[in-house]
Amino acid sequence: MDAGFWLSRWEKREIGFHQEDLNRFLKQYWSTLELSKGSTVLVPLCGKSKDMLWLVEQGHHVVGVELSEAAVLEFFEEWKVQPQVDQQGCFTRYSGGNIELLVGDFFALTAEDLQKVVGVYDRAALVALPPDMRGNYANLLAEKLPGSAKTLLITFEYQPGAIKGPPFSIEIDAVKSLFESECAINILDSQAFDFRGIDAIEHTFRLVYL
């Protein structure tokens, strides 16, 4: 998907991917990453997710990356925090409290941008990417994240062709193919649920970079 697709979705308010409630698997399984308070967590393609506020409540510093400036502005408006704004490389950085959101292209991230990150929370990034972009996503994380970083990854799987993504169906074998050369992978949970009237399975993984 190109940048225009996602910017248009926010402009047209076609944001069915946004969850108003805290993700249940985040709350249930985040502790399995065993990250210390004060550690920095990356949230790729973060939108205006309220999950970031929960991560802050757990004592983390959150770095989100989002293409849409409108989404970032809405996040701080709804949080009722006036952010500071500056430049960080090719990103515009909005920061307030223990959250900093980088507006720009996720694939432009550098190792310097991620040098303090020890954990990653991905509920909406991998499933938003078509197959031909997922390898670049996985490679960037493997190359730019500090060693031993840990990820909580949430994906879901449905019958191929049942709907037109995004979000896209990603089976367990696809996750293994993307990450197993760089990560130890544990499947924490797989639960069936109804997704837009079709049968689907939501998968939760813990990834530990080697």
State residue 170's pLDDT score.
Answer: 95
pLDDT > 70: what percent of the chain? 90
State residue 163's pLDDT score.
Answer: 82
In this prediction, residues 71-85 reach a mean pLDDT of 95
CB-side exposure of 67: number of CA atoms within 13 Å?
A: 18
Residue 107's domain is classified under what CATH number?
3.40.50.150
State residue 60's pLDDT score.
Answer: 98
Residue 107's domain spans which residues?
3-209
Q: How confident is the model at residue 110 (pLDDT cuts 50, 70, 90)?
A: very high
At residue 174, the 3 state secondary structure works out as helix
In this prediction, residues 51-63 reach a mean pLDDT of 98
pTM reported for the whole predicted model: 0.94
Q: Mind listing the pLDDT tens digit for each residue in 153-182?
A: 999 999 887 888 788 999 999 999 999 999
Q: Mind listing the pLDDT tens digit for each residue in 180-191?
A: 999 999 999 999
Is pLDDT of 53 > 80? Answer: yes
- Distance, C-alpha 142 to centroid of its chain: 15
Q: How confident is the model at residue 109 (pLDDT cuts 50, 70, 90)?
A: very high
Q: How confident is the model at residue 9 (pLDDT cuts 50, 70, 90)?
A: low
State residue 17's pLDDT score.
Answer: 53
Domain count, the chain: 1
Tell me how far apart the alpha carbons of residues 112 and 90 are, in angstroms, rounded to a whole number.
Answer: 12
Peptide bond into 160 cis (omega under 30): no
Residue 180, phi-psi category: left (phi > 0), alpha (psi -120 to 50), beta (remainder): alpha
Is pLDDT of 121 > 70? Answer: yes
Q: Mind listing the pLDDT tens digit for each residue in 192-208?
A: 999 888 999 999 999 99
State residue 2's pLDDT score.
Answer: 64
